[in-house]
Amino acid sequence: MDDIDRIKNLNMEASVQINIELGTKLLLELDDVNIPINSIFVGLKVNEYFIASQPSNYSMIKHKLFPGNHMIIKYLYCGTVYAFPTKIIDIVEKPVQMLLFVYPKFLQSHTIRSYRRNDCVIPVRIVINNTERNGIIKDLSEEGCGCSFKYLPNPKTKLRVGNPLKLHCQFPGIEGEIELNGIIQNSRKEVGNEIIGLKFRGLTDKAAGIIYNYLVLLAEQHP
C-alpha cells in the first residue's frame, strides 16, 4: 500500500469527535417551524447515530418527525455553541420515546465571548412592596444574570443581598413575559443606577429553555 492509499484510508476512518455530556440540552431547528424546540442528549454511537429525547412542543411538530427529514441540532458546551446538520433515522416509541439521528459528518462552532457573562439588553420589571420598577438585564448565563434599575432612595424598594426576586422579562421573539426567579447575590450603586447580580433558583423548564436558546443565539450573532 503506497502513501496515497494510506492517507485515503485514514481519511475514511476519521471520526468527528463530539464534545457533549449526557443530559445536555439540545436546540432542534426544523424547516418551517418557528417555535423553539428543545430536547435532551441521550447517547450516541460514533459514525452511526446520535440519540435525543422526545422534543418539547411534540404535539405541534409530530408531523415533521419522520425518517429522512432534515434538521439542525445545536447545543452549548463549556462556552462554545456547536451545530451540525443531520436527518432522522427513526423514532423509537418504547420503552420511552427517543429520536435517532444520523451521526454528524462535521461540526460548526461559535465560542461565546464570555462563558459566564454574555452582554445583552432584555427589558425587565420587578415589583417590591407594591412598587413596580423597570430595568434591563445587562448580562446573562445559564446560572444567573446582572440587572440594572434606576436608583430609588426609598428604603422599601431597596434590592437587598440574599432576598428572593422575581423578574418579569420580555425576551426577543417570545410572546408575553417570562418569569425568572432567583436570589440577589450582590448589589451596588453606579451612576444613578442600582446594579444587582441574581442567581437563578427554581426556574421552570420553559424559562430555562428560553435562556438556553437565547445564549445559543447570542453566540451565533457574536462569534
Q: Work out how many domains the chain is built from and give that number.
A: 2
66 CA to centre of own chain: 25
* CB 133 within 8 Å of CB 125: yes
83 and 40 in a common domain: yes
pLDDT in the model for residue 221: 62
Domain boundary (111, 134, 166) is at: 111
86 and 34 in a common domain: yes
CA neighbours closer than 13 Å in the CB half-sphere of residue 169: 27
pLDDT in the model for residue 216: 84
Within 10 angstroms of residue 74's Cβ, the number of other Cβ atoms is 21
Kindly give the parts of the chain with pLDDT less than 70.
1-14, 111-117, 220-223
Q: What is the pLDDT of residues 20-45, one digit of tens each?
A: 999 999 999 998 888 888 999 999 99
pLDDT in the model for residue 100: 95
Domain boundary (49, 80, 111) is at: 111
212 and 159 in a common domain: yes
Closest CA to 169 of 180, 182, 159, 157: 180
191 and 154 in a common domain: yes
Beta-ladder partners of 70: 87
**3-class DSSP state for residue 220?**
helix
pLDDT in the model for residue 209: 87
pLDDT in the model for residue 13: 44
Domain boundary (72, 95, 111) is at: 111
Range of the domain at 40: 3-111
pLDDT in the model for residue 76: 86
Prior bond to 95 cis, omega within 30?
yes
Q: What is the pTM of this model?
A: 0.67
93 CA to centre of own chain: 26
pLDDT in the model for residue 120: 87
